Chain A
């Protein structure tokens, strides 16, 4: 029998980026806010100081930085004709766990989706004609211009380093000429580019493209953010993505929000408490709170006036299913919306091998790179191309961690003397050019509940049915050809193409950019949440994260996830709290 606890005003499920942002915003309204995190408290000096952080085996290969599959995982198959089997260990994506979530181990590549990305359905249909049958791309229901002030807030919270390309409609030299208009320059200058980035910049300019520095949440100089949190300068240690930062120089909840939030009298955090489901009243239209369980096996009922799902996209979608909120999507009938429009990211690249130049990629950072956006979104004419969308192309120097990164030229075997020789000769002399492609929604890619496998609590695992789509493959072939053209001009001895062909393999790492399942939209017949991320079915429930994206754009999602969180927080503060109820009339 669950022990009923004293009520709070707001309960947040999970304590990563979106919960930290929301907790900081809503405590400012004097609300009693409680966050429930299933993982542990983590901080820089205890968990990832410089004396412990640069440990490739521990944090990545033994997965100590990530969610524990023995407790939480999902099943996977490419299509409905197959039996889904458990993801027994992580591969293509790495969900976080613990305070700060994936905000602790992300790269810090911080983008804003394009204005056209938010209206991908109407924009592309208008320009190119009806979308193909089976493609379920939709408009977000919110525009870039509405979100701009919230993107700006996150940029300043995190001290993003970069060069603006469009300030108030005026194109700026050295920035991304394709970006949506910004109200201000980045709060910090760009990162310190290295040899590889110089080659990329030269190669792309020769091709008539517009290179610019990648927007970075690795501090390019000492920075104090608007909350008064101090971040140190990045030391280009090459242990960024998949690792915690020992320098306080990667923007994370710990470095940007928690020092202020944790001391507020109206905020409380409970760690090692996993939410099992949202509790609804008899009508099913009001959340009364959540049921959670701690690591000693004690079960609790936590009443709250406002429930906000702030866990990772996968777990938020799973919780909606387990709580019986909305109807789970069934591709056979097309009915149901929870789990629909699951999307990912379509990656491809070229390795560049130099004969006698050293790229020294161990001197790198999570968001150290030069990029071109000429082939993203609808930044180029798609007439006759038979796909929509695109992706940025970049040369990032993030690492040369040897277990993970030991590229070898075309034709090298995977082991033996020839392999070892190739690894030795190329380790310090290689770099890569990558395409970070969009993922358009299709009716055949979705999440639902597995009929066979259960988690540590006896709940059915979520099942992922996902494969690359015709749009993905055509788009990727186009982008990879452009990657090849750039890579061939970077002055190397040879290149090796890493194309993206189907089927989707859930094991080699690609990105932790899982989206959809709780999509936002313009009315309850096409979405799970409205434009303020409020549940259509249960008005005192909001759902954060990339699960609200109806499809994924050609960028890393965190910047847009954060902007939507600030946007939702603003709607809660200025509208919902004054008059609790649906913010959009269905």
Chain B
């Protein structure tokens, strides 16, 4: 079979969508010989942009409401709101992840079976936008002109359960695909390093007892089933490093 030679233009387009991170490391080809090519003082910094925003106000209300039901604030401790999950997701949608830059986004698009994973023609940010619009429209129809954010807790839980189980049909978008995505992103936003805008003040890590970005537990290996109490540390450190 004839394999088409890639055209230069097509190839460069492919490379533009193949960048790895916001802090674009050099993707220029190199020829390396006679050395281990290390330069002092260089590091590939994390792609963290917690201040960036994508959602409209209406979208923020909806994502806030959904994530507050997925990871509620309750008697067991802080939830998505305290952790800043909304701001985390908002900033993620504004970046390469929201644009699906590391995903295969070529068509044709068609629905697959569950085991084939994400098949939406929308990258994540687009899916949020389309799904929130359709969800709010559905809620206004079904719940007396109230968007999702204005439903009661139990009405919201019922909607989310139907989305999770694939029992809700939304216009032009898969409610179940959106549910799976927002649940993934909510958990990410609850437990990620705080540099990304979520897990604010490390509330997620403190809730579960995860010591964070530590790197040496050799002194603790003989714990023999006893609790190890370690203040969590972020890649940026922790408050105890800089006493007021």
B72 at the interface (CB under 8 A from A): yes
17 sampled A-B residue pairs with Cβ under 8 A: A43-B37, A43-B38, A56-B193, A62-B102, A76-B116, A77-B116, A86-B106, A262-B33, A271-B29, A277-B3, A294-B29, A415-B160, A415-B186, A420-B76, A420-B79, A420-B207, A428-B227
> Measured between C-beta atoms, what is the minimum distance from B191 to chain A in Å?
4
Contact of B10 among A271, A458, A504 (CB under 8 A): A458
Which A residues from 74 to 88 make CB contacts under 8 A with B?
76-78, 82-83, 85-88
Q: Pick out which of these stretches binds chain B: A233-241, A388-396, A554-562, A573-581.
A: A233-241
Contact of A402 among B1, B25, B205 (CB under 8 A): B205
A584 at the interface (CB under 8 A from B): no
> Measured between C-beta atoms, what is the minimum distance from A112 to chain B in Å?
27
> Measured between C-beta atoms, what is the minimum distance from B186 to chain A in Å?
8
- Contact in complex: B34, A265 (CB < 8 Å): yes
Contact of A268 among B33, B114, B209 (CB under 8 A): B33
**A 273-298 binary contact with B (CB < 8 Å = 1; else 0):** 10011000000000000000111111
- Contact in complex: A363, B74 (CB < 8 Å): no
> Measured between C-beta atoms, what is the minimum distance from B76 to chain A in Å?
4
- Contact in complex: A297, B204 (CB < 8 Å): no
- Contact in complex: B18, A68 (CB < 8 Å): yes
B-chain residues with CB within 8 Å of residue A299 when the two chains form the complex: 5-6
- Contact in complex: A360, B32 (CB < 8 Å): no
Contact of A414 among B45, B183, B191 (CB under 8 A): B183
- Which of A77, A88, A428 counts the most B-chain CB atoms under 10 A from its CB? A88
**B 228-244 binary contact with A (CB < 8 Å = 1; else 0):** 10000001000000000
Q: Pick out which of these stretches binds chain A: B129-137, B143-151, B213-221.
A: B213-221
Which B residues from 185 to 201 make CB contacts under 8 A with A?
186-188, 191-193, 196
A54-B214, A262-B36 known; A415-B76 Cβ under 8 A: no
Q: A88-B103, A362-B211 are in contact. List 17 more A-B contacts (CB 8 A).
A: A41-B30, A43-B36, A51-B43, A76-B115, A78-B113, A269-B31, A276-B6, A358-B228, A359-B225, A363-B220, A402-B210, A417-B74, A428-B227, A456-B11, A456-B14, A458-B10, A459-B4
Which A residues from 255 to 276 make CB contacts under 8 A with B?
258-259, 262-263, 265, 267-273, 276
A-chain residues with CB within 8 Å of residue B70 when the two chains form the complex: 415-416
Interface size range on B against A: 35 or more
- Contact in complex: B31, A400 (CB < 8 Å): no
A424 at the interface (CB under 8 A from B): yes
- Contact in complex: B112, A85 (CB < 8 Å): yes
Which A residues from 462 to 519 make CB contacts under 8 A with B?
503-507
- Contact in complex: B227, A358 (CB < 8 Å): yes
Q: How far is the CA of A273 from the CA of B15 in the complex (A)?
A: 12
B59 at the interface (CB under 8 A from A): no
A294-B29, A402-B208 known; A62-B104 Cβ under 8 A: no
- Contact in complex: A64, B213 (CB < 8 Å): no
Which A residues from 392 to 431 make CB contacts under 8 A with B?
400-403, 406, 414-417, 420-421, 423-424, 427-428
> Measured between C-beta atoms, what is the minimum distance from A497 to chain B in Å?
20
Interface size range on A against B: 35 or more
- Contact in complex: B36, A70 (CB < 8 Å): no
Taking Cβ atoms with an 8 Å cutoff, the residues of B that contact A are 1, 3-8, 10-12, 14-15, 17-18, 20-21, 25-39, 42-47, 69-72, 74, 76-77, 79, 97, 100-106, 108, 110, 112-119, 157, 160, 164, 183, 186-188, 191-193, 196, 204-205, 207-218, 220-228, 235
Q: How far is the CA of A235 from the CA of B71 in the complex (A)?
A: 33
A-chain residues with CB within 8 Å of residue B164 when the two chains form the complex: 414-415
B-chain residues with CB within 8 Å of residue A360 when the two chains form the complex: 220, 223, 227-228
> Measured between C-beta atoms, what is the minimum distance from A4 to chain B in Å?
15
A57 at the interface (CB under 8 A from B): yes
Taking Cβ atoms with an 8 Å cutoff, the residues of A that contact B are 40-41, 43, 45-47, 49-58, 61-64, 68-71, 73, 76-78, 82-83, 85-89, 91, 192-195, 198, 233, 235-239, 246-247, 258-259, 262-263, 265, 267-273, 276-277, 293-299, 322, 354, 357-360, 362-364, 400-403, 406, 414-417, 420-421, 423-424, 427-428, 449, 452-460, 503-507
- Contact in complex: B97, A62 (CB < 8 Å): yes
Q: How far is the CA of A103 from the CA of B168 in the complex (A)?
A: 44
- Contact in complex: A271, B32 (CB < 8 Å): yes
- Contact in complex: B216, A236 (CB < 8 Å): yes
- Contact in complex: A424, B77 (CB < 8 Å): yes
A-chain residues with CB within 8 Å of residue B191 when the two chains form the complex: 56, 402-403, 406
A237-B216, A362-B217, A403-B192 known; A70-B105 Cβ under 8 A: yes
